[in-house]
Structure 1
Amino acid sequence: MKRIIMLSVIVAFLGISCSLSKEDKLYRTTVDGTWQLTNVDYTGAQGQFSSVLFKDADAKCFGGSTWYFNHINSTGYYDIPQGLDCVGGQRDIRWSILDQNGIQQLQFKFIDEKKKDITGYGFRLTIDYLDDTSMTLRSSVSVDGEPVNVIYKFQKINQ
């Protein structure tokens, strides 16, 4: 009987400690669906920028890319259009919402067709704005010692 009670307490504790907050669940269900990246912009420094995003492709290649997020199994992808100087195609990801001291972040890493991590590292983007139709994400980087924010603006293309 003691084992059953102890096991019940352990299972309950694990369930509580691993569950998402109401706010995180709301972010996950709002992010769920298909989005189009409509604009990549920079703030915080002057000048022209050329950047490789997510160690994958030049920022210009991401314009018009499609992003899909499935909140049921935390997988998705982004699909870069084929174009001049852009290697198009789908990149599979595993994603989640992270609460960093009250600041929500979307984090993702690349996965293979078996849903296994293929890079050993991931990316975090601060969620500056999110509603049912638009999303603005931000990543902070340093250019010549100056802080620069990369701003990603999305429009939802299906619910």
Structure 2
Amino acid sequence: MKKVIVLLGVVAFLLTSCSISKDARTKRNLLSGTWALNDVSFENNTGNFKAVLFNDVEDICLEGSEWFFRDNNSTGRYTIAPSTLCNGGDRYIRWSVVERDENYTSQLQFKFIDEKNKDISGGLGYRLNIETLTENAMTLKSNVQVNGDPVTVVYSFTKK
């Protein structure tokens, strides 16, 4: 009998420790769906920037891209329109919302996968700070270094 009680206690502990917070679940639900990336801009530094983002495409190619997040299996994609500057097509991702300490914002985390949901990034991925997230708009930010100086990349989305 004692073994059964201990086993139930261990199972209950594991279930509660693996669950995500209510705030993360709310953000996952808000993220779910299709978003248009309207603008990529830069803060905290002056000058003109030309950046390759996510080791994929230049910032100009991400503007106008369509992002889709499916919350029931944490997969999605973003689609780049083809042009002379941009290698168009779908980029498949596995994503999650990461809760940080109370003093920090939540983050959108993703890594690249193939069409069959297999990791193609060797476990490496990206984290973007969730600055704002509503039913209709989202702003994500990432901090990078340019010649040793901090620059913040700002991604502004609207829900489709």
Fold conserved (TM > 0.5)? yes
Instruction: Give the structure 1 partner of residue 132 of structure 2.
Output: 129
Task: Show the counterpart of 2:144.
Answer: 141
Q: 2:111 maps to what in 1?
A: 109
Superposed displacement of residue 114, structure 1: 2.3
Q: Secondary structure at the match of 1:119?
A: coil
SS state at 2:111 partner: strand
Looking at structure 2, the residues matched to 2 and 114 of structure 1 have their Cα atoms a distance apart, in angstroms, of 45
Q: Distance in 2 between matches of 1:140 and 1:76?
A: 23
* Identity value in percent: 48
Partner of 1:27: 27
The two structures have a TM-score, normalised by structure 2, of: 0.95
Cα RMSD of the aligned pairs, angstroms, is: 0.9
Q: Does residue 1:13 correspond to 2:16, yes or no?
A: no
Instruction: Give the Å deviation of 1:145.
Output: 1.1
Most deviating of 100-109 and 129-138: 100-109
2:36 paired residue number = 36
Please state how far the C-alpha of 1:99 moved relative to its aligned partner: 1.1
Aligned residues: 157
Unaligned 5+ runs, structure 1 = none
Alignment partners' CA distance in 1, 2:5 and 2:92: 42
2:32 & 2:77 partners in 1: Cα distance?
A: 12
Correspondence for 1:53:
53
SS in 2 for 1:7: helix
Equivalent residue for 1:119?
121
Tell me how far 1:101 sits from its aligned partner.
Answer: 1.2
Please list every run of at least 4 consecutive aligned residues from structure 1 whose deviation after the TM superposition is greater than 4 angstroms: none
1:66-77 correspondence runs (5 A): 66-77=66-77
The one-letter code sitting in structure 2 at the alignment partner of 1:122 is G
What is the rounded CA distance, in whole Å, between the counterparts of 1:150 and 1:80 in structure 2?
A: 18
